């Protein structure tokens, strides 16, 4: 029996509620992470293999337990090479350095600007070197999402780097079919939109233009903060706070109940399969659509979305283009999926070859079932429907809960700020006390030296000291 420890926060077969997702932070901050971790799980789910989930940090076994109980640690990874992720990256490096079992990284990525500038990553260089060195001490190579990440690691001095993309698009192996059902979209088309908060100044305008033009457009959210807002609400309407971005309950997409968030990749993929078109800045939101067979276009706002789109040859546009270029019908008409489909087999062989090089079996090998047992099992499970916005048909209860939520958050922020200030003051007091002790010691030594000099002069005058 092969025992694999997999970095993931949820099994593909586990059903969850909204409350569990919020409380346990399933998927980390972004449920899009489950799209690639589920695909990795399925790929490795062969007979005589036992897969155990490690979580993202909470509940991860100690290095001693991992070495004793498992044969390999598999990391379906995120855009881990970014300065804001340094603490987590160092955490995983500390753990990997203590492991004696093999490690396999499935598609780690770097994050920078659209022009693939390495300068913003400079402060992360040492942490990245430690991580990659630790992995390569336990693996024949490290798999990255695209050529930009490969260039970054080559720049750091590493050669055993393979571009393998992300396991998400290989959920169904060689099977991938994306077709346009109509030559053009009309205003009644069923459209999905996914966006990342704060990615571009004009993004809100793009959201509103498409909202106004397509009455059947829905916002497909995927962040924990989105789910939190959908579940608890806020006071934005009553306070007359309005933004073009869909991050407040006052936004038309929320008021019109045109927001959905899927708790499980399988329901996400199935529902996207019923849409006519999906577009937006979220790479795995678009991949869920492609897995469902629905045309999709990625709005690239950084290197991580761009390098995956370029590697898989997913139709994409850079967010530097004028906002009028991001009309859903225009994006749909201009998108061509020939290259995506034509290159899929070669990319699939590269991914599976990488897995085999690490000594692991997978469901797509000769003699395996290609995932039939996995699909039969997952199709027998009744997963929760996508989360919707909490209805306001409850008098003032929604406002009251929203007010309490915002008040608690405000107080929590103030408390955290006060604690930081207290910690800073305590540090300064400690430093001042150390300085005071040093000054007192120095003062005592100075007094002693003055006394010795004075007594020495007196003794010399009396001829008692030479």
pLDDT tens by residue, 126-154: 999 999 999 999 999 999 999 999 999 99
Residues 331 and 361 in one domain: no
Residues 215 and 285 in one domain: yes
Residues 236 and 306 in one domain: yes
Q: How many helices (H) and strands (E) does the chain have?
A: 17, 12
- Taking Cα atoms as reference points, which of 186, 183, 85, 71 lies closest to residue 138? 71
Confidence of residue 413 (pLDDT cuts 50, 70, 90): confident
Residues 195 and 114 in one domain: no
The predicted pLDDT at position 348 comes to: 98
Residues 224 and 304 in one domain: yes
Does residue 298 lie in a domain region? yes
Strand partners, 2: 49
Residues 113 and 243 in one domain: no
Reported as half-sphere exposure (CB side, CA atoms, 13 A), residue 170 has a value of 31
The predicted pLDDT at position 396 comes to: 73
Task: Give percent of the chain above pLDDT 90.
Answer: 79
Reported as half-sphere exposure (CB side, CA atoms, 13 A), residue 352 has a value of 21
Q: For residue 80, give the CATH number of its domain.
A: 3.40.50
Q: What is the C-alpha separation between 66 and 55, in angstroms, rounded?
A: 13
Residues 74 and 151 in one domain: yes
Burial grade of 373 (CB within 10 A; 0-12, 13-18, 19 or more)? middle
Predicted TM-score of the model (pTM)? 0.87
Contact indicator for 374, 211 with CB cutoff of 8 Å: no
- Taking Cα atoms as reference points, which of 157, 158, 169, 146 lies closest to residue 269? 169
The predicted pLDDT at position 411 comes to: 82
Residues 283 and 252 in one domain: yes
Please state whether beta strands 191-194 and 217-221 pair in parallel, antiparallel, or not at all (unpaired).
parallel
Task: Give the 3-state secondary structure of residue 97.
Answer: coil
Q: Rounded mean pLDDT of the chain?
A: 92
The predicted pLDDT at position 460 comes to: 65
> 242-254: per-residue pLDDT in tens?
999 999 999 999 9
The predicted pLDDT at position 405 comes to: 79
Both tokens assigned to 260? 């959905």
Count of domains observed in the chain: 2
Task: Give the 3-state secondary structure of residue 173.
Answer: coil
pLDDT surpasses 90 at 412: no
CA 442 remoteness from chain centre: 54
User: Domain range holding 29?
Assistant: 2-172+344-379
Q: What is the C-alpha separation between 294 and 398, in angstroms, rounded?
A: 36
The predicted pLDDT at position 459 comes to: 57
Weakest-pLDDT range from 221-230, 312-321, 370-379, 452-461: 452-461
The predicted pLDDT at position 398 comes to: 74
Does residue 99 lie in a domain region? yes
């Amino acid at each position: 029996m092969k025992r694999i420890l997999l970095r993931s926060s949820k099994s593909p077969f586990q059903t969850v509620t909204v409350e569990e997702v919020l409380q346990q932070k399933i998927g980390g901050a972004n449920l899009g992470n489950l799209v690639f971790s589920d695909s990795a799980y399925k790929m490795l789910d062969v007979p005589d293999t036992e897969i155990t989930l490690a979580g993202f940090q909470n509940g991860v076994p100690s290095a001693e337990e991992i070495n004793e109980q498992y044969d390999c640690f598999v990391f379906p990874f995120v855009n881990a090479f970014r300065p804001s992720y340094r603490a987590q990256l160092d955490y995983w490096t500390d753990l990997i350095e203590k492991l004696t079992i093999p490690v396999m990284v499935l598609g780690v990525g770097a994050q920078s600007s659209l022009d693939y500038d390495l300068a913003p990553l400079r402060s992360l260089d040492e942490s990245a070197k430690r991580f990659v060195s630790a992995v390569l001490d336990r693996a024949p190579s490290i798999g990255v999402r695209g050529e930009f990440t490969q260039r970054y690691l080559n720049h750091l001095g590493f050669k055993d780097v393979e571009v393998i993309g992300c396991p998400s698009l290989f959920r169904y192996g060689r099977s991938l079919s994306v077709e346009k059902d109509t030559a053009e979209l009309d205003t009644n088309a069923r459209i999905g939109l996914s966006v990342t908060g704060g990615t571009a100044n004009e993004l809100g305008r793009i959201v509103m233009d498409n909202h106004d033009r397509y009455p059947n457009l829905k916002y497909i959210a995927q962040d924990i903060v989105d789910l939190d807002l959908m579940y608890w609400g806020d006071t934005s309407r009553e306070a007359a706070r309005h933004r073009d971005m869909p991050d407040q309950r006052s936004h038309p997409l929320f008021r019109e109940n045109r927001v959905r968030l899927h708790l499980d990749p399988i329901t996400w993929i199935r529902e996207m399969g019923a849409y006519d078109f999906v577009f937006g800045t979220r790479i795995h939101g678009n991949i869920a659509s492609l897995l469902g067979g629905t045309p999709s276009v990625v709005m690239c706002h950084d290197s991580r979305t761009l390098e995956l789109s370029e590697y898989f040859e997913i139709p994409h546009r850079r967010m530097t283009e004028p906002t009028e270029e991001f009309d859903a019908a225009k994006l749909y008409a201009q998108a061509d999926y020939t290259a995506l489909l034509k290159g899929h087999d070669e990319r699939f062989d590269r991914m599976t070859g990488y897995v085999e090089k690490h000594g692991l079996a997978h469901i797509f090998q000769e003699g395996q079932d290609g995932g039939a047992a996995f699909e039969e099992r997952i199709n027998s499970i009744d997963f929760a429907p996508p989360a919707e916005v909490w209805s306001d048909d409850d008098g003032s209860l929604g406002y009251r809960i929203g007010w309490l939520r915002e008040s608690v958050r405000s107080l929590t922020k103030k408390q955290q700020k006060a604690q930081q200030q207290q910690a800073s003051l305590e540090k300064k007091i400690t430093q001042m006390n150390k300085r005071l002790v040093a000054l007192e010691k120095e003062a005592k030594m100075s007094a002693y030296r003055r006394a010795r000099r004075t007594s020495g002069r007196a003794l010399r005058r009396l001829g008692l000291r030479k």
